[in-house]
Chains A and B, each alone.
Chain A
Amino acid sequence: MGTLNELIHQPLRLRLMAVLVALQPDEQVGFTALRDLLDLTDGNLGAHLRKLEEAGYIAVTKTFVGRKPQTYLCATPVGRQAFAEHVAALEAILQAGKPASG
């Protein structure tokens, strides 16, 4: 049974990781599209992305499209594994039908 991941457990970061893990491994999502999808402000999204990036769960790529700077994000293999373990822990809690700690 996986253990609950404290970093991913936070509701907004859980949503962030859910979106990034839903992409194909070779895909990256634009910062603006992610912000709009989750209905967040730039600052709020940026703060949570930094925490996930520091943990090695996401990769941030900054590039230019024409003259406009663009930021793209994706879940790393480490992040995908951590998220999968977190989901497994959630499912185990649900199946056990009793409170658990991780």
Chain B
Amino acid sequence: MSMTPEEAQASLQAIRKLTGQTHRALYHGTGYFPIIWGLVWAGGFLGYQYLPFIPATLLWVALLMVGGLASGVVGARLGQRVRSTNGARIGLFFAVLIGYAYLWLWIARPLSLPQMELLLTLAVLFGMLATGLWLRVSYLIVFGVVVSALAVAGYYALPASFGLWMAVLVGSAFVGSGVYQLRCGY
């Protein structure tokens, strides 16, 4: 079997083109996850900012259920194209992380509501950072670090508007991340 440099170049170009097409076609739609959760967080934190404690908590619970349901629908659709053994492990990791975060909050009580909101937010962002390190996804690492720093800054600099800060910051960061993923095909 012989091949000219022109044929080799054509083959290499075909491979490069298909690699890009593969990412765009098969991973398109994963960006819906951060968009869903960005809207959930924005709604939840706005409720925390402007509603009394019990309605705000009920709103959080309702939004979490809607977010979980929507994620399940998106996940089922994406799973028909590409499925990953890591997907289940990442889901389990986040479930364990949130469980531990609630345990730590319970041990550290009494905590103020803003403290609890910030610590839970940081737990989720830590999970994103760890997932980025694990899967070598640089944008998840940057996202985790930058949004964590901004969340802590808002907690100390804007205590009276912390819920609004988190709604705008975390909500828009998640939604922006999702839009970026949809545009880039990841």
Contact = CB atoms under 8 A, between A and B. Distances in A.
Interface residues of B, number: 27
Contact of A101 (B1, B14, B26): B1
Contact of A99 (B3, B11, B81, B82): B3
Contact of B85 (A18, A26, A30, A32): A26
A65 B79 contact: yes
A29 B81 contact: yes
A22 B27 CA distance: 11
Interface string A76-102: 000000000001001101101111111
Interface string B125-148: 000000000010000000000000
Given A90-B8, A94-B8, A22 B18 contact: yes
Interface residues of A, number: 35
Contacts, number: 91
B106 to A, nearest CB: 35
Nearest to B22: A22
Interface in A12-65: 14-15, 18-19, 22-24, 26-30, 32-33, 36-37, 65
A42 to B, nearest CB: 16
Nearest to A102: B1
Contact of A33 (B9, B15, B23, B82): B82
Nearest to B135: A24
B112 interface: no
